[in-house]
Amino acid sequence: MNGPYRGRFAPSPTGPLHAGSLVAALASWLDARAHQGQWLVRLEDTDRERCVAGADQLILRQLADCGLLPDEAPVWQSERSPLYQAPLDELVQRGLAYPCGCSRKDIELVLASQGQDRPRHSELIYPGTCRSGLHGKPARAWRLRTDIFMPNRPLAPVDIKVVAINKGANSMVGWQDRRLGAQQQDVATEVGDFVLKRADGGFAYQLAVVVDDAAQGITDVVRGEDLANNTARQILLQRQLGLATPRYLHTPLVCNAQGEKLSKQTGAPALDTGAPLAALNVAAAVLGLLPVADNLGDALASWVAEWRATWLAT
Ligand code: GLU
């Protein structure tokens, strides 16, 4: 670990909590309590178009109804823009981030000309068009170069050898997930140069989450498995910025009767926190914890003990 345990729950206020998001909230709270650490709540509202007015306060109320109270005042990413601009400027200055003038259509055309037609709605791997300049187009977004690895710390002699020999393979990121085990992703080939700041001027999730996890001294990220695929990008960014990498634990997802992940898009109903113990028991079952019918305080205490016995060594 990188210091005294600090965990967080970082919901995007795009709607109220549902049964799926409560699993991540409960797991991150339990992990913090089991480690006798601190638990923070961060409202990730940089994508203004996706946020719903009032959802932030509703989420905080739902968490409080469930007895999940943060140890520090919650923070809102929309109030922290200067914090994200400074590292972006640093990356640009070091030649690791660049402005991009491509629309989605432009990217699709280049990929098609390379014979790389992609199915609709899947993420496009950016072909690197604007790495060499904007070609007269106005800047729309800012992207991270994933083909150059330049960690923001002095390289030890052994690192220098690896960087020199592994040209092109430096974007391969491996990490040990506490639940999923060994993971790896080559960010350059599987994701490509990803966006740090969007065309609408908002900071992208990847940059904001990395900067905030470091600024808040987060040692352990516990979140839903649907976010596991973002972890390599975040670790790459941490390395380029010289920031510590937290430990990661990705929790099981909750699916609806059609087998789709519960989300606002799949019509997940808002969590009924009028009956918090019932809601928490459903989340606890997903995490493999035993049901508890007593009062809220006893239930949480019993799950902390169970969590400590199961997850503390990981
Ligand atoms: N705000 C992100 C979401 O709700 C989660 C961020 C994280 O836990 O890393 O999808």
In the predicted model, is pLDDT for residue 122 greater than 90? Answer: no
Query: For residue 216, what pLDDT band results from cuts at 50, 70 and 90?
Result: very high
The residue ranking higher by pLDDT, 108 or 118, is 108
In words, the CATH class of domain 6-79+216-311 is: alpha beta
Q: Give the mean model confidence (pLDDT) for residues 73-80.
A: 98
How far is ligand 1, taken at its centre, from the CA of residue 25, in Å? 11
Q: Within 6 Å (CB) of ligand 1, which residues are found?
A: 10-12, 44, 209, 223, 227
pLDDT per residue as tens digits for the range 236-250: 999 999 999 999 999
CATH classification of 81-206, choosing from 3.30.420.10, 1.10.150.120, 3.30.1300.10, 3.90.800.10?
A: 3.90.800.10
- Inter-CA distances, 223 with 148, 220, 226, Å: 29, 10, 8
Domain boundaries, the chain: 6-79+216-311, 81-206
pLDDT per residue as tens digits for the range 83-116: 999 999 999 999 999 999 999 899 989 888 888 7
Of all protein residues, whose CA lies closest to atom 6 belonging to ligand 1? Answer: 10
How far is ligand 1, taken at its centre, from the CA of residue 99, in Å? 25
Give Cβ neighbours of residue 118 (< 8 Å, ≥ 6 apart): 108, 111, 124, 125
Dihedral sign computed on CA atoms, order 113, 119, 120, 121: negative
Query: For residue 164, what pLDDT band results from cuts at 50, 70 and 90?
Result: very low
Q: Give the mean model confidence (pLDDT) for residues 140-150.
A: 90
Indicate the helix (H) or strand (E) that contains 38.
strand 38-43
pLDDT value for 1:
47
How far is ligand 1, taken at its centre, from the CA of residue 224, in Å? 8
**Of 52, 177, 209, which is best to mutate to test ligand 1, by the most ligand atoms within 8 angstroms of its C-beta?**
209
N-terminal to C-terminal alpha carbon distance within the chain: 11
Residue 14 Cα: closest atom of ligand 1 = 4
pLDDT value for 257:
78
How far is ligand 1, taken at its centre, from the CA of residue 249, in Å? 13
